[in-house]
Amino acid sequence: MVEEMAHPLSKFLREAMMPHIWCSGCGNGIILNCFVQAIDDLQMNLDKLVVVSGIGCIGRAAGYTNVNSFHTTHGRPIAFATGVKLANPELDVVIVSGDGDLFAIGGNHFIHAARRNIGVKVICANNFNYGMTGGQQGPTTPLEALTTTTPYGNIEHPFNLVHLAAASGATFVARWTTLHARRLTQSIVKLLQKEGFCFIEVVTPCPEIFGRHNKMRTGLEMMEWFKKASVVEHFSDPAKAEITSEKIVVGEFVDIEKPSYERLLHEKIAQINKKAGELVREYAS
Amino acid sequence: MAKKETLLTGAHFMNGDVACAEGAIAAGCRFFAGYPITPATEIAEHLSQRMPEIGGIYIQMEDEIGSIAAVIGASYTGLKAMTATSGPGFSLMQENIGLAVMTEAPCVIVDVMRGGPSTGQPTLPGQQDVMQAKWGSHGDYEIIALAPSSVQEMFDLTVEAFNLSETYRVPTILLVDEIVAHMWEKVVILSSEKIKIANRKKPNVPTEKYMPFMPDDNLVPPMACFGEGFSFHATGLTHDEHGYPQTQSSEVQQRLVNRLCDKIRKNADKIIRVEEVMLDDADMVVVAYGIVARAALSAVRKARAEGIKAGLLRLITLWPFPEKHVGKIAKQAKAIVVAEMNCGQLVREVERSAKETPVVFLSKLGEDPHTPIEILDAIRRNS
């Protein structure tokens, strides 16, 4: 008789929410695994961790993670998380969401949170399309790719997410694919410890929805593409890191020091109140 | 003016937007997120100065969608939170007002109504967002909306809006017309012990037994916040008492959505406030709110001087609609005159509640609200 053993990371999952909604061959499980592995590696205080997500397949990750979690409206997890982080800067606030949620409908919140350097951490699952609604073209869909709304091939230029994040002011920017589980986990560990707005793009297979239209019907075929095309180039120019069928530049692109919005805000509040206190003393004397 | 105190107890001369901002501070609001928009900008400007002085958070977001989302985030992190806007921004907020309803996030939204639709007349008054406040987001739900008629009420009803929002875990909307927001009047701010403050009910069960959407007797669930040791999930999806999505269950949908409506409907008598002026023997009743109610009061007094038994029902709570109060006066009145700065919004609710009693509607759009003489004429014609 085989004794049933709990997975060492299952304590981080809400078992009541299982089974998950993700398709076979989907990479979201790998991303969630790497994320909770990083939490475990850091022995984070789970009471202080808040996971926020928007709408989409990966958006269910917030509910699956057994910590404080919130599943917002489509495109708004970063704006919601901004309120959380500023209301209690002691909290570790992580956004796990998709490319459509964060960069199409939610693009405005992304660039402004990065510009302000709000200390929230964004992990983006990039599956090149809108998976949950059945595979429509999105802001990261490659040129000429077939989707349910680009039946003649996509004519829109996709965002280069790491370039966008770096140009918007993020203090940490990395890209990995789900093939790079170990390095992804290491980057998430860094992201969770770093001050300011941090971003990791995870290129993830979506064989059932995206792959089937683009000659990659299984997760394995998509992973083989990642294996063939990925080139690790740390601190290379993010402007030149466009994803093509031939080349996916992965690695850490940005790792800089810059005071976060919440640090500057609380310094300002302390400064103002010191001044206010001095004024009161002047009047009193 | 030195403003280092949290509460500016004393008599002041200020405008409505500033009184609203000070009311928020008095109510315990410590988070404001907004986006500049006429005629609500002064609320943001004033709070950008005041919030840091009292250790609160002010942030200008990239748009009104971000503002309301940040407010909901701050509310779930334990702060009393507010945003302020005008019609165009209020339209942008609607989806996330639905999120606040669904996740029962206490928050206050100030809508200083300009003339609409679209960009409309940014510096001129309107009362055109009354139906949007009730029905603007998709799905069935109930919110609370209050309409101040004076600068003093901008202070008092902002405090009240926070209290109601915290008590019922529901977004509460302050529907202000531009005139009340920009008017300067005397405001008396009481000392803190004389200002009634309500706070959300906290759970009193062990953390592992906490069910975030299990209601108490008044249909409102106690609320834990992020960082307090309760590991809970909240979602805009239909959810059970654990907060877990139940997207295929008709039973859960019925139970949840009915409770969200009932917690306001069944507590309506406790929520609703009106001002009744000379109604005891009145057979001609004017129903009005906001700045228009002040012209209506003057008209009613003039009518009384002419021997007409006129009275005023001033609506302070617009939603839930005071249908019992209107129903009561309809039984004694020959006619009801409704004056609003729109093409006919709340008058529909008055007609519904008045049943057989004739309802006369006075519409006004643009710069000036109804004059007392215009309302008096309507009283004379129908008495």
Does A72 contact B62 at a Cβ distance shorter than 8 Å? no
* Residue A22 included in any domain: yes
How confident is the model over B287-331, as pLDDT tens digits? 999 999 999 999 999 999 999 999 999 999 999 999 999 999 999
- How far off is chain B from A231, nearest CA to CA, in Å? 36
Q: Which of A67, A84, A109 faces B231 most closely, judged by CB atoms?
A: A67
At the second CATH level, the architecture of B275-382 is: 3-Layer(aba) Sandwich (3.40)
- CATH 3.40.50.920 intervals, chain B: 275-382
Q: Chain A contacts of B71, Cβ < 8 Å?
A: 83
Is the Cβ–Cβ distance between B33 and B74 less than 8 Å?
Answer: yes
- How far off is chain A from B126, nearest CA to CA, in Å? 30
How confident is the model over A89-144, as pLDDT tens digits? 999 999 999 999 999 999 999 999 999 999 999 999 999 999 999 999 999 999 99
Is B268 near chain A, with CB under 8 Å?
Answer: no
| CA-to-CA dists, residue B289 to B88, B152, B213, B336, angstroms | 22, 15, 35, 14
Tokens of B67: 């503002």
* Residue A270 included in any domain: no
Q: Which residue of A has its CA nearest to B224?
A: A68
Is B194 near chain A, with CB under 8 Å?
Answer: no
Say what the pLDDT of residue B198 is.
Answer: 98
Is the Cβ–Cβ distance between A260 and A118 less than 8 Å?
Answer: yes
CA angle B204, B210, B215 (to 5 degrees): 80
Q: Which residue of A has its CA nearest to B33?
A: A83
ipTM: 0.97
When the pLDDT of each residue in chain A is averaged and rounded to a whole number, the result is 95
Does B59 contact A66 at a Cβ distance shorter than 8 Å? no
Best of B4, B104, B137, B226 to substitute, by most chain A Cβ atoms within 10 angstroms, is B226
Does B78 contact A87 at a Cβ distance shorter than 8 Å? yes
| SS3 of chain B | CCCCCCCCCEEEEEEHHHHHHHHHHHHCEEEEEECCCCCCHHHHHHHHHHHHHCCCEEEECCCHHHHHHHHHHHHHCCCEEEEEECHHHHHHHHHHHHHHHHCCCCEEEEEEEEECCCCCEEEEECCCCHHHHHHCCCCCCCCEEECCCCHHHHHHHHHHHHHHHHHHCCEEEEEEEHHHHHCEEEEEECCHHHCCCCCCCCCCCCHHHCCCCCCCCCCCCCCCCCCCCCCCEEECCCECCCCCECCCCHHHHHHHHHHHHHHHHCCHHHHCCEEEECCCCCCEEEEECCCHHHHHHHHHHHHHHCCCCEEEEEECEEECCCHHHHHHHHHHCCEEEEEECCCCCHHHHHHHHHCCCCEEEEECCCCCCCCHHHHHHHHHHHC
Say what the pLDDT of residue A3 is.
Answer: 76
Say what the pLDDT of residue A275 is.
Answer: 74
A283: pLDDT strictly greater than 60: no
Whole-angstrom distance, CA of residue B281 vs CA of residue B275: 15
Say what the pLDDT of residue A280 is.
Answer: 53
Q: Which residue of A has its CA nearest to B99?
A: A73
Mean pLDDT for A190-200 is 98
Is the Cβ–Cβ distance between A207 and A128 less than 8 Å?
Answer: no
Does B77 contact A269 at a Cβ distance shorter than 8 Å? no
Q: Chain A: which residues have CB within 8 Å of chain B?
A: 14, 16-17, 46-48, 50, 52, 62-63, 66-73, 75-76, 79-88, 90-91, 108-109, 112, 265, 268-269, 272-273, 276, 279-280, 283
Best of A67, A78, A88 to substitute, by most chain B Cβ atoms within 10 angstroms, is A88
B3: pLDDT strictly greater than 80: no
Say which residue, A277 or A39, is predicted with more confidence: A39
Tokens of A32: 């969630």
Q: Which of A67, A73, A86 faces B95 most closely, judged by CB atoms?
A: A73
Per CATH, which fold does B10-194 belong to? Rossmann fold (3.40.50)
Best of B30, B77, B109, B211 to substitute, by most chain A Cβ atoms within 10 angstroms, is B77
Mean pLDDT for B2-18 is 87
Range of the domain at A99: 10-259
Q: Chain B contacts of A68, Cβ < 8 Å?
A: 226-227, 230-232
What is the helix (H) or strand (E) element at residue A126, kind and residue range?
Answer: strand A121-126
When the pLDDT of each residue in chain B is averaged and rounded to a whole number, the result is 97
Q: What is the tally of structural domains in chain A?
A: 1
Q: Which of A16, A47, A272 faces B53 most closely, judged by CB atoms?
A: A272
At residue B39 the predicted structure's pLDDT band, cuts being 50, 70 and 90, is very high
- How far off is chain A from B365, nearest CA to CA, in Å? 35
Q: Chain A contacts of B73, Cβ < 8 Å?
A: 52, 70, 79-85, 87
Q: Chain A contacts of B74, Cβ < 8 Å?
A: 83-84, 86-87
At residue B1 the predicted structure's pLDDT band, cuts being 50, 70 and 90, is very low
* Residue A283 included in any domain: no
Does A76 contact B96 at a Cβ distance shorter than 8 Å? yes
Q: Chain B contacts of A90, Cβ < 8 Å?
A: 227
Is B107 near chain A, with CB under 8 Å?
Answer: no
Q: Chain B contacts of A52, Cβ < 8 Å?
A: 73
CB contacts < 8 Å between A and B, how many?
A: 142
Q: Chain B contacts of A48, Cβ < 8 Å?
A: 227
Residue with tokens 């022995």: A43
Is the Cβ–Cβ distance between B277 and B300 less than 8 Å?
Answer: yes
Say what the pLDDT of residue A5 is.
Answer: 84
At residue B177 the predicted structure's pLDDT band, cuts being 50, 70 and 90, is very high
Nearest to B105 by CA among B226, B228, B247, B251: B226
Whole-angstrom distance, CA of residue A80 vs CA of residue A86: 10
Beta bridge partners of B14: B185
At residue A227 the predicted structure's pLDDT band, cuts being 50, 70 and 90, is very high
Q: What CATH number has the domain bearing residue A76?
A: 3.40.50.970
Residue with tokens 């200002």: B195
Say what the pLDDT of residue B48 is.
Answer: 97
AA letter at B205: V
Mean pLDDT for A71-96 is 98
Q: Chain B contacts of A265, Cβ < 8 Å?
A: 57
- CATH 3.40.50.970 intervals, chain B: 10-194
- How far off is chain A from B55, nearest CA to CA, in Å? 6
Q: Which of residues 203-232 of B touch A (CB under 8 A)?
A: 226-232
- How far off is chain B from A228, nearest CA to CA, in Å? 39
Q: What is the pTM of this model?
A: 0.97
A279: pLDDT strictly greater than 60: no
* Residue A210 included in any domain: yes
**% of chain B beyond a pLDDT of 70:** 99
Does A63 contact B63 at a Cβ distance shorter than 8 Å? no
Q: Chain B contacts of A273, Cβ < 8 Å?
A: 52-53, 55
Q: Which residue of B has its CA nearest to A18?
A: B244
B180: pLDDT strictly greater than 70: yes
Does B228 contact A265 at a Cβ distance shorter than 8 Å? no
Q: Chain B contacts of A69, Cβ < 8 Å?
A: 232-234
Say what the pLDDT of residue A265 is.
Answer: 95
Q: Which of residues 341-380 of B touch A (CB under 8 A)?
A: none
